[in-house]
Structure 1
Amino acid sequence: MSTSKTIKENFPVTGLSCASCAISAETILQSHKGVVNAAVNFANNTALVEYQPSVVKPEELKSAVQSVGYDLIIEDSASAKATLEAIQKAKFKALERNTWLSILSALPIVALGMFFMDVEYGNYIQWALATPVVLIFGRQFFVNAWKQANHGNANMDTLVSLSTGIAYLFSVFNTLYPEFWTSRGLHAHVYFEAAVVVIAFILLGKLLEENAKSNTSEAIKKLIGLQPDTVIRIKGDKEEVVRTEDVRVNDVLLVKPGEKVPLDGKVLSGSSYVDESMISGEPVPVLKEKDALVYAGTINQKGSFRFLAEKVGKDTLLAQIIKLVQNAQGSKAPVQKLVDKIAGIFVPAVIGFAIFCLFTWLVLGGENGFTQGLLAMVTVLVIACPCALGLATPTAIMVGVGKGAENGILIKDAESLEEARNVKAIILDKTGTITEGKPDVIGIEWKEGADREHLSALIYSIESQSEHPLADAVVKYFQNMEVKQLPLESFESLTGEGVFASHQGDAYFLGSPKLMSSNAIAIDASLEQKVEEWLSNAYTVIWFADKENTLAAIAIADKIKETSAEAVKALEAMNVDVYMLTGDNLTTAQAVAKQVGILNYKAETMPGDKAAFVKKLQAEGIKVAMVGDGINDSEALALADVSIAMGKGTDIAMDVAKMTLISSDLMHIPRAIKLSRQTVQVIKQNLFWAFIYNLIGIPLAAGILYPFTGFLLNPMLAGGAMALSSISVVANSLRLKYMKM
């Protein structure tokens, strides 16, 4: 292999219907010249391909994938993305339509086949009703089985198509030529109901599976939507509105109040506070003055500024986050479910055994060897049809997901529900996860003898005119106390320090300790003692003073949720290690970790640091769950084995994460882990019951008792046994509803 430079790209893949399809597409890509590595993810229908652009072009990769019956979308355009979305929606709608039509068609066929077998023209009515189910609604099973056969593989689609196809053709033959059997002393049974019930149940299972898969493209679309389509570019003394994609490095751009920063760059003039919570996860906007760095997707507050574009297109921090999330999602191979592993052996074995039964009867069965052998083969395929096997996982998942939703836990895919039981490390973001995610006034300490009512009104009046983000918390605090505003004679914002105002000829200052010292204002000793206590708890303090002395101190903090400490304790009791990673400073991180009982924490972490920490734990063989609420958590959420978002967090975090806590209550995390353990236990029990029927039923269907008792299992009874196995699986899954989380 040449050592020339390689690149990694994510390509959407269409036409995948099962994990085996993904493996086929992956194999053809990996075998192509110039491809270093390829991973096709069936869960989100993408192919992450690392290739040498000097050796192979995307067009060649597309042709290779098309050769095995799938397609690769290589065009990176809005129309291509819209086409992919339309294909996915059409596929889901078709599956949904086919499922319900199959179920509706199956009901009268089962009634005729089980209770009105001797009604006139009953077989023809069943044939008419069964034909669209088998040939139209269940067509995908036969198409997929044919694809697998072309690749030399067999899966559950193979067994479904064989059993339903043989049962259908056998029934058609018996409907048209019943005398073939009656002349030999045998009844010409039809098994249309077995064929349609199998297809209806398996389609229902697939619908549940598709419904559970998260639409990861929505998260990426919303991330891309953070960058505005147009921007104001400054050329000389003129302003012009241009498309963001037309901006070049070193262009000068203007950002007005309330607008999103379009690209990465450096402030040239002006000042404002910018909400960078999408990057840092912290709720307090950051002051941006000359030479300060700004990032694409962040939100400007009340001021305006001009900045020099330094990174454009794919080089911006937002674009890098988008790419990292795409790669993290695409590189995760779908979890190999226990059912698929068993089916990989079970399906070929059943097919082989059914054929073996036919030939054994031909050799040893005498004059009726062929007819009894054919019946035995059909009976084996019918009783072994993986209806219960196909329902074992989705029914338990369906009940588990429903129970989670009733308890405030939204679970987006089955894999994360199954995987949660193995989690040994939980990574928590601080802001919005352990804490409320919004600054509030914790308390106000007044100088002894101060006129609290008058000064409260004065502080409220001053902060109402301030642009500082913390002013909103103060304003909200006094609004709740129904304080009235006072008229101000002057107001001035002192950038980076606070504000100055005058009322009835008196000067007042509101802001940082730096503002107090720069104006030679004396700090009251009793207030200073209280402030030191607040600072030790990582509270932010605002001083209020006249022109000579401090009059009050205001403590502002992001409150810790009431259940955070309880949740940490519950997780540790389940032998799960708890970590806290935050973009906040070390002092605040230490204070919060101490209050909730977390021993392992890291401060001043960027999005990439969180993702790297997830990888580090995974490299040690630890199953990791990531809990977050912001865009800054999205890469780590995508990489984690189990990703959990706060319901009050950003849409991006909720789209990337596979679980969402509606109330943002951390106590739901230990409950989700317990629910996972219960659900997987039920799935294993379901698989046990599904195979017990097969272990007993298949030998009986083959005719093992015939030499001793003359008993040969009727295919009708085989269909009944298959239905009984399905009922037992569904009933066992329903027990989940009554288990305590």
Structure 2
Amino acid sequence: MQQTLRLDVTGLSCAGCVRRAEAALSGVDGVHEARVNLATRRAEVAHDGAVTPAHAAAALAKAGYPAAEEDVRLRVDGATCGSCVARIEAALAAVPGVVSAAFNLANGQARLRILVGAVDEADLIAAVKRAGYAASTLTDDRPDAAAERDAADIARLRRDTLLAGLLTLPVMVLAMGGHVWPPFHHWLHGTIGMGTSWTIQFVLTSLVLFGPGLRFFKLGVPALLHRAPDMNALVALGTSAAWGFSTVATFAPGILPPGTAEVYFEAAAVIVTLILLGRWLEARARGQAGQAIRKLAGLQVREARVRRDGVMQMIAIGDLVTGDEIELRPGARVPTDGEIIEGRSDIDESMVTGEPLPVTRAAGERVIGGTVNGAGALMIRATATGKDTVLSQIMAAVADAQGAKLPIQSLVDRVTAIFVPVVIATALVTLGLWLAFGPAPALGLAVVAAVSVLVVACPCAMGLAVPVSIMVGTGRASELGVLFRRGDALQALQGVQIMAFDKTGTLTLGKPVVTGVTVLDGSEDTTLAAIAALEATSDHPIARAVVAEAEARGLTLPNVADAKAHAGLGVAGRIEGRMLKVGAARFFDDIPQGLAGTVAAWEAEGRSVLFAAFDDRIIAALAVSDRIKPEARSVIDALKAAGVRPAMITGDSRAAADAVAAELGIETVIAGVMPTVKAEALAELARQGRVGFVGDGINDAPALAAADVGIAMGSGTDVAIEAADVVLMSGDLRGVATAHRISLRTMSNIRQNLVWAFGYNVALIPVAAGLLAIFGGPMLSPMLASGAMAASSVLVITNALRLRRLRAVA
């Protein structure tokens, strides 16, 4: 059985890093597929079950991209001796993803080192409990680990950038001050002299390169030695070339050809400073891109007030178990998924479903963890805890979607696989051509051109172009109640040409009512009671409507034996020894002439018709009507405006389907199909273009799975939701148009990023090589090259952040 392992990866700075990390993970025995996302720093490894986090971490470490680790502390109660210590440590160490575990008997604390993303605190707590001890998080208000790491990274980059800037400023003044204000040059020459000026620049630049800029050498040099150069290698090569040439010119000028002893310390220092500035701004922007997950995590409650053994007590959310009775006070956030057992209140579900208006919930109805209670006091019974809650599943789905690699990414992968080596080769060729054909003294010009080529290239922007847009787009979608369960559905949805809808419960409210009863033989109430008794064994909306009608009439339902559902046809069973069948016309051989006129009139009005037969003789017909959802027409119109052709596929009769289609403006209608045939109907539509399907019931699952993109209503069945690629959490049909808009805008954003990332390099690498200078134009300064390179990644992320302003279709 295929399993998925997740790890956070460090040391990633460009798409080349991603490719090498993926290659390292793919080389582990048992790995089927490895994906690494540059924006989230997350690796996802699909394997056969034999791969442990330790195996994957070892492969990443060997490649130079160690898996992120963090310290976790737990409070453990019940330990009394040394054997307890050994047992607790063994239990924790056995959890996949734990690097080390140590328990202190004196203070009752367990300290662990874990691989980030590979293990949850809930797993650790469960492991301790299985060993026979109680465990809990040490601090309930502990911030999210990812947010902590992001904040620490931003703070570190800020500190290094400011330090590099302070050291670089004097170098810039000494080197460039005379160009800005000529008298400064004469003053400098007449006081400390150029030799001393160069020495000061050497000292300050060295501090920049081997202080804040040391990170580029730590990562870049090993990458070069492993013949797998990355962006850090380009920066290390460029800055060390400028620094090395300048150092020789300062302390051993006689080695250089006459007239070439110039220094470029300011270029090396400014390159490091500007690139650090770019990464600082990039880290801040990337933090904003990941806000969706942090917002969802912020909905999780830390404690709950639980009634156990008749006593109310506050317990940590990690200690909740299914069946716990939880007191929910007015204005409080719902701690976990549950069912209301006492009270009635309005619940604000907007943070989970995207639906702005509160919904009224009463006893017997479900509530979702993370939503906010209104003015009423409630008692709820926990129905799911931990990873099983809706909120946890949403967070997991969003994380999966954000980590997905879209088909469009393959273009980026092919380019970045050869990009950095090509840049290094281009720099060497540039150096050689300038030395061979450049005007004297050519060495200085050759160094400037080669360094500019190395620095201006930006695989970082290429690597971020796709994943950061996915991250922001899917995150914003989740805030609007649209959950992309598969990341590649984001790209597939924008290419859908035909959007097919199920009718009942999707285009209609799914709450039909009986609007007509005709009986050929016997009492109407007696016959309706028998039909309702049989339909009570089904959960189909039409069956519920028949039962509701019988209950409204106060009828007593007889007992049913041997009830059996026939998918897409109806239901059959024995009542008082006689076989009763209830279902659509296709469930019966023929329809009596006595019912033909009435049935034709009902169908002309768009009503669904049920027939009932005792011992294969039809004795009655029922008309059932379902109201069209108020927003259905606007959704159909919005899809048409976007160039998507709507269609309807339903098991209802042609007349009923046509009546709904006519009201909504749907021209393509496929009616009277069995659930298993819906997938075949989609295949017919697929000959005309890419097809999406929207449904909500169990019978829609095959069609949802068969469509290019399956969209399930969140109000539908679990089976339908599991088969879908996209889930509309609120069940509001407008989510279909919203999901399509998000897909269009996100893919457009990705294309904009790619055009910028590729176009930037295509345009500036020749300029950096000196193309303009050949025709009398200027050389591109390495300082300007570094500024442009740093700006490119920031621009890509900033462009992606515009997706946060997306609005739902009204």
With structure 2 as the length reference, what TM-score do the two structures score? Answer: 0.51
Matched, 1:385 2:459: no
The 3 A distance-change label for structure 1 pair 560 and 698 is same
Residue type matched to 2:454 in 1? C
Task: Give the match for residue 29 of structure 1.
Answer: 25
Residue type matched to 1:693 in 2? V
- 1:85 is matched with which residue: 138, 147, 157? 147
Task: Give the match for residue 170 of structure 1.
Answer: 245
Matched, 1:76 2:153: no
Partner Cα distance (1:718, 1:287) in 2: 66
The 3 A distance-change label for structure 1 pair 280 and 206 is closer
Partner Cα distance (2:279, 2:728) in 1: 25
Partner Cα distance (1:339, 1:37) in 2: 18
Equivalences, count: 561
Residue type matched to 1:93 in 2? A
Partner Cα distance (2:174, 2:694) in 1: 69
Partner Cα distance (1:280, 1:127) in 2: 59
Task: Give the match for residue 242 of structure 1.
Answer: 315
- 1:14 is matched with which residue: 10, 13, 16? 10
Q: Secondary structure at the match of 1:385?
A: helix
The 3 A distance-change label for structure 1 pair 692 and 396 is farther
The 3 A distance-change label for structure 1 pair 111 and 605 is farther
Structure 1 segment 334-373 matched on structure 2, within 5 A? 336=409, 342=415, 344-352=417-425
Shift of 1:153: 0.4
Partner Cα distance (2:253, 2:497) in 1: 65
State whether residues 14 and 230 of structure 2, in contact with CA within 8 Å, keep that contact through their aligned partners in structure 1.
Answer: no
Task: Give the match for residue 557 of structure 2.
Answer: none
Partner Cα distance (1:89, 1:341) in 2: 33
Partner Cα distance (1:61, 1:394) in 2: 22
Structure 1 segment 275-674 matched on structure 2, within 5 A? 275-276=348-349, 282=355, 283=357, 285-290=359-364, 292-332=365-405, 336=409, 342=415, 344-352=417-425, 378-387=447-456, 389=458, 423-424=494-495, 571-572=642-643, 605=696, 616-617=707-708
State whether residues 383 and 697 of structure 1, in contact with CA within 8 Å, keep that contact through their aligned partners in structure 2.
Answer: no
- Root-mean-square deviation (CA, aligned residues, Å) is 6.7
Residue type matched to 2:8 in 1? P
Matched, 1:180 2:232: no
State whether residues 334 and 370 of structure 2, in contact with CA within 8 Å, keep that contact through their aligned partners in structure 1.
Answer: yes
The 3 A distance-change label for structure 1 pair 690 and 383 is same
Matched, 1:230 2:303: yes
The 3 A distance-change label for structure 1 pair 210 and 718 is same
Q: Secondary structure at the match of 1:137?
A: coil
Residue type matched to 1:76 in 2? D
Task: Give the match for residue 542 of structure 1.
Answer: none
Partner Cα distance (1:639, 1:377) in 2: 54
State whether residues 274 and 786 of structure 2, in contact with CA within 8 Å, keep that contact through their aligned partners in structure 1.
Answer: no
Partner Cα distance (2:258, 2:498) in 1: 71
Structure 1 segment 134-213 matched on structure 2, within 5 A? 134-181=209-256, 185-213=258-286
Task: Give the match for residue 538 of structure 2.
Answer: none
Shift of 1:256: 4.3
Q: Secondary structure at the match of 2:263?
A: coil
Shift of 1:639: 7.8
Partner Cα distance (2:493, 2:762) in 1: 21
Q: Deviations over 1:378-409 (max 9, x none)?
A: 35522422426579889999xx9xxx9xxxxx
Partner Cα distance (2:417, 2:221) in 1: 16
Q: Deviations over 1:504-524 (max 9, x none)?
A: xxxxxxxxx99x999xxxxxx
State whether residues 240 and 268 of structure 2, in contact with CA within 8 Å, keep that contact through their aligned partners in structure 1.
Answer: yes
Structure 2 residues without counterparts, runs of 5 or longer = 68-114, 122-136, 180-184, 190-195, 474-478, 480-486, 500-548, 555-605, 607-627, 649-655, 669-690, 800-810
Q: Deviations over 1:403-428 (max 9, x none)?
A: x9xxxxx9xxxxx9xx9999445999
Residue type matched to 1:180 in 2? I
Task: Give the match for residue 178 of structure 2.
Answer: 116
State whether residues 154 and 344 of structure 1, in contact with CA within 8 Å, keep that contact through their aligned partners in structure 2.
Answer: no
Shift of 1:332: 3.6
- 1:58 is matched with which residue: 53, 60, 74? 53
Shift of 1:169: 1.1
State whether residues 253 and 308 of structure 1, in contact with CA within 8 Å, keep that contact through their aligned partners in structure 2.
Answer: yes
State whether residues 268 and 307 of structure 1, in contact with CA within 8 Å, keep that contact through their aligned partners in structure 2.
Answer: yes
State whether residues 259 and 300 of structure 1, in contact with CA within 8 Å, keep that contact through their aligned partners in structure 2.
Answer: yes
State whether residues 271 and 782 of structure 2, in contact with CA within 8 Å, keep that contact through their aligned partners in structure 1.
Answer: no
Partner Cα distance (1:562, 1:104) in 2: 62
Residue type matched to 2:767 in 1? Y
Partner Cα distance (1:724, 1:21) in 2: 20
Shift of 1:179: 3.4
State whether residues 243 and 264 of structure 2, in contact with CA within 8 Å, keep that contact through their aligned partners in structure 1.
Answer: yes
The 3 A distance-change label for structure 1 pair 239 and 132 is same
Partner Cα distance (1:97, 1:116) in 2: 30
Shift of 1:297: 3.4
The 3 A distance-change label for structure 1 pair 208 and 517 is farther
The 3 A distance-change label for structure 1 pair 240 and 84 is closer
Task: Give the match for residue 687 of structure 1.
Answer: 761
The 3 A distance-change label for structure 1 pair 198 and 390 is farther
The 3 A distance-change label for structure 1 pair 720 and 592 is farther
The 3 A distance-change label for structure 1 pair 212 and 29 is same
State whether residues 272 and 288 of structure 1, in contact with CA within 8 Å, keep that contact through their aligned partners in structure 2.
Answer: yes
Shift of 1:241: 3.3
Partner Cα distance (1:57, 1:672) in 2: 35
Partner Cα distance (2:207, 2:407) in 1: 33
State whether residues 493 and 743 of structure 2, in contact with CA within 8 Å, keep that contact through their aligned partners in structure 1.
Answer: no
Partner Cα distance (2:495, 2:8) in 1: 33
Q: Deviations over 1:605-658 (max 9, x none)?
A: 59xx99x96995469xxxx9x999xxx9xx99x988xx9999xxxxxx9xxxxx
The 3 A distance-change label for structure 1 pair 139 and 255 is same
The 3 A distance-change label for structure 1 pair 615 and 244 is farther
Q: Deviations over 1:444-487 (max 9, x none)?
A: xxxxxxxxxxxxxxxxxxxxxxxxxxxxxxxxxxxxxxxxxxxx
